[in-house]
Amino acid sequence: MKFGGTSVADAEAMNRVIAIVRKQWAEDAGDRPPVVVVSAMSKVTDRLVETGRLTGERLGEQAAQILADLLERHIGVASTLVEGTALGDLNAQLTADFSALQADVRRWAEQGEITPAAADALQAMGELASSRIVAAAFRQQGVNAAWVDSRQVLVTDGEHLAAIPDMEATTERARAIVGAKLAAGQVPVMGGFIGATAHGVTTTLGRGGSDYSAAIFGACLGVDEIQIWTDVDGMLTADPRVVSSPVLVPELSFNEASELAYFGAKVLHPSTILPAVANNIPVRILNSRRPEVKGTMITAEGRGDGGTLTALACKRGVTVVDITSSRMLMAFGFLRRLFEVFERFRTPVDVVTTSEVSVSVTVDNTRRIDDIVSNLRNFAEVSTEPDMAIVCIVGENLRSDPTLFCRAVNALETIPLRLVSQAGSRRNITFVMRDSDVVSAMNLLHDQFFTAKVS
Ligand code: ADP
Ligand code: ASP
Ligand code: MG
């Protein structure tokens, strides 16, 4: 059971978490307790990222001040939920952890540099603190819970800020450490998002990575179901921040969920589905404010019935890179050369389209774009266009019903489309357009497929 940032935002939210876990354990988990994974309290990771930025700019005192404010917020929540010596111990631990980080940021600020490893040590504080508080709050309310340090369980490579789990090593640790708590009838409470290398250096899985942690632990422990508790009723037909009244998607296939997550449905981290697929574990998305709502069930099969599309997604602020070369004509090895440049600068591409003499790709991480462009220019003409966006329509039915594509294109008749791509899976079609057109494009598509009554 993974609870996101808004689901552990304050003492009230944490009380809801405890009630949800208690009810579920009583109702259907039998004698095996659930495993609880929590995110940092809402906005805390953003503040820690900000702390890192200030540190890098040698503003050590400002950085230390943010940490002092965060400590105060955590102690405030802890003091509402926990009492007596347990509270004393908890507050002492939080104070020690935050104070150590304050000393670190002052030192790093003097050096004027924050390494990726240092940034990970900073960002990990959010999940460490929230998980300690939630574990203590459980015990305060009579639930037999045990805090587990996720850094001792989730073993990753050393790619800081985007670490990749070592599933074999993590399975071994999870079975030993988390398994022992479960065997003792305890609810393990762990921080999501964080792990450590085999040498014990703290790492993180990348922003939004707590969902991924939950799926990793679920897979390693062979659970019956992975639950993602959040602040919406489940996967909706579109991002509620873009479309005014999206509706709940009750069932999704793993493949559909992966496409939606990959193309911007933030409710699920894009890697979450992988461990679930590998072990065929259903993933359910649920609302911690409205636990009675059934949510979205994600399984290998998805929904059985006909119907239209399943959902829409959009990814904003992407850059299109156009690569043109007359040498591409009839040349084998050209694409390899081209993609090697992206690989060298560790930049994933999302959408790819080709014509006879040109290739266009989209990237959302432009950190290394200047290096990429100058390397590509060794063998091709290159231009980039920022402020673009990807709109993606997803549904297993796209395979069987060719009219769905026509309806989507017709709905978008007023919007200039920059690239269009349908992959071999025929499960999604992506449209690349100006970012400024995204809101109208999403609403036009949503009206067409989910609101307008079409016979
Ligand atoms: P958590 O902190 O629980 O991980 P997130 O903020 O990461 O929550 O994800 C939930 C948010 O995802 C929702 O509040 C919503 O704004 C956004 N979102 C984007 N696309 C979708 C979608 N298709 N369905 C549901 N939520 C979506
Ligand atoms: N706290 C981390 C973040 O905000 C991880 C997560 O919430 O999933 O990115
Ligand atoms: Mg999230």
Q: What is the pLDDT of residue 30?
A: 65
Q: What is the pLDDT of residue 331?
A: 75
At residue 80, the 3 state secondary structure works out as helix
pLDDT digits (tens, 9 = 90+) for 289-338: 999 999 999 999 998 666 789 999 999 999 999 999 887 666 788 899 99
- The arrangement of strands across the sheet holding 358-363 comes to 352-354, 358-363, 311-324, 381-394, 428-434, 417-422
Establish whether residue 270 lines the binding site of ligand 1, counting it when its CB lies within 6 angstroms of any ligand atom: no
Cα-atom radius of gyration of the chain, to the nearest Å? 23
- In contact, 349 and 341? CB cutoff 8 Å: no
Q: What is the pLDDT of residue 124?
A: 98
List Cβ neighbours of 257 (8 Å cut-off, separation of 6 or more).
235, 268, 273, 283, 298
Q: Could you list which residues have their CB under 5 Å from ion ligand 3?
A: 4, 208
Q: What is the pLDDT of residue 330?
A: 65
Q: CA torsion 219→220→225→231, rounded to 10°?
A: -80
Establish whether residue 241 lines the binding site of ligand 1, counting it when its CB lies within 6 angstroms of any ligand atom: yes
Q: CA torsion 359→364→369→375, rounded to 10°?
A: -30
pLDDT digits (tens, 9 = 90+) for 411-443: 999 999 999 999 888 899 999 999 999 999 999
Taking the CA of 127 as reference, the closest ligand is 2
> Using the 8-state DSSP alphabet, how is residue 35 labeled?
P
**378 C-alpha to ligand 2 centroid (Å):** 39
Q: What is the pLDDT of residue 454?
A: 46
Closest atom of ligand 2 to 193 CA is 5
Closest atom of ligand 2 to 210 CA is 8
Phi and psi, residue 294, nearest 5°: -65, -25
At residue 314, the 3 state secondary structure works out as strand
Minimal CA–CA distance to 319: which of 385, 412, 238? 385
- In contact, 296 and 248? CB cutoff 8 Å: yes
**Which pLDDT tens digits describe the chain residue by residue (455 residues)?**
999 999 999 999 999 999 999 999 988 656 789 999 999 999 999 999 999 999 999 999 999 999 999 999 999 999 999 999 999 999 999 999 999 999 999 999 999 999 999 999 999 999 999 999 999 999 999 999 999 999 999 999 999 999 999 999 999 999 999 999 999 999 999 999 999 999 999 999 999 999 999 999 999 999 999 999 999 999 999 999 999 999 999 999 999 999 999 999 999 999 999 999 999 999 999 999 999 999 999 999 998 666 789 999 999 999 999 999 887 666 788 899 999 999 999 899 999 999 878 999 999 989 899 999 999 999 999 999 999 999 999 999 999 999 999 999 999 999 999 999 998 888 999 999 999 999 999 999 999 999 855 44
Closest atom of ligand 2 to 4 CA is 7
Closest atom of ligand 1 to 265 CA is 20
Q: Which of 44, 210, 266 to mutate to test the pocket of ligand 2 (most atoms within 8 A of CB)?
A: 210
Closest atom of ligand 2 to 212 CA is 8
Compute how many other C-beta atoms are within 10 angstroms of the C-beta atom of residue 443: 18
Q: Which of 193, 217, 272 to mutate to test the pocket of ligand 2 (most atoms within 8 A of CB)?
A: 193
**266 C-alpha to ligand 3 centroid (Å):** 6
Establish whether residue 347 lines the binding site of ligand 2, counting it when its CB lies within 6 angstroms of any ligand atom: no
Give the CA count within 13 Å in the CB-facing half-sphere of 445.
Answer: 32
Establish whether residue 192 lines the binding site of ligand 2, counting it when its CB lies within 6 angstroms of any ligand atom: yes
Taking the CA of 237 as reference, the closest ligand is 1
Q: The pTM is what? A: 0.94
Taking the CA of 8 as reference, the closest ligand is 1
> Can you give the length of the chain in residues?
455
**333 C-alpha to ligand 1 centroid (Å):** 41
Q: What is the pLDDT of residue 29?
A: 56
Q: What is the pLDDT of residue 455?
A: 41
Following DSSP, what letter does each residue of 93-142 receive, concatenated?
Answer: HHHHHHHHHHHHHHHHHHHT---HHHHHHHHHHHHHHHHHHHHHHHHHTT
